[in-house]
Amino acid sequence: MNNLLKILILIIGFNTFSVAQAARPMMTDDARIVDPKSCQLESWVRDSKHMTEYWAQPGCNVAENAEITIGGSLEGENGHSSFANEIYQIKSIIRPIDINQTGYSIVLGNARDPKRTMNKVIQDWYLNVPISYPYNDRLVIHTNLGVTHLTDERTEKINWGLSSEYNYNERIDLISEVFNQSSNSTYFQFGLRYWLIKNRAQIDTTYMNSFNHIGDDQSFSVGLRLLSLPFLP
């Protein structure tokens, strides 16, 4: 009950925004942003063998082509919860995805993890280029290529991802992906999205595992995405 209360407080503290067609629940980003003057909320719970994560990531398109996202997570382990990751990100479309047109975007972000060291908060800077290719009217292929600067290690690591998004019907999307986000392990994930209210509220669920440690790194997630109408000045 305490964990549920904390995640609700986290979500309310970021305001009751709504989410657009963004990457969640995929780790591989896409070449889309929320509509101009609109806001979004992505929230989810991920449960693994080692811990439970509670995430909330609100974001707004504050201009015509500048989506700003600020979010973070709680981590629950051995009956205790604490604030963990923080994300600060801006995303812009280079070319929008359309019928017979590949979309491109660019993402610049800062990820902070106060648990990496005992003395200071570690900040990692990352740059990512999501590319979305509409294979047909139902299937979209997404690829990512980027780099992360690991401040504590004073080095750069490559990020990459490949995912598919299949529109099964007007309410259900099937997703699958493989990705590596600056780690020593490559992961795979698959799941589905379901529209509770078309273009306004969507739930999702996924299964994730690592090719390097099958079983030991597996996790399950359940998420909620909400989407607002334009309202910003």
Give the pair of three-digit tokens for residue 152: 């504590």
- When comparing pLDDT for 81 and 13, which is higher? 81
Domains, the chain, ranges and CATH? 2-227 (2.40.160.40)
Mean pLDDT of the chain: 86
Pairing relation of β-strands 201-210 and 219-227?
A: antiparallel
DSSP category for residue 35: P
Query: pLDDT tens, 74-100?
Result: 987 766 777 788 999 999 999 999 989
CA distances from 86 to 22, 76, 82, 126, 221 (A): 18, 16, 12, 13, 19
- What is the DSSP secondary structure assignment for residue 101, as one 8-state letter? B
| Arithmetic mean of pLDDT, 44-51 | 91
- What's the whole-model pTM score? 0.84
Q: Check: CB of residue 180 under 8 Å from CB of residue 161.
A: yes
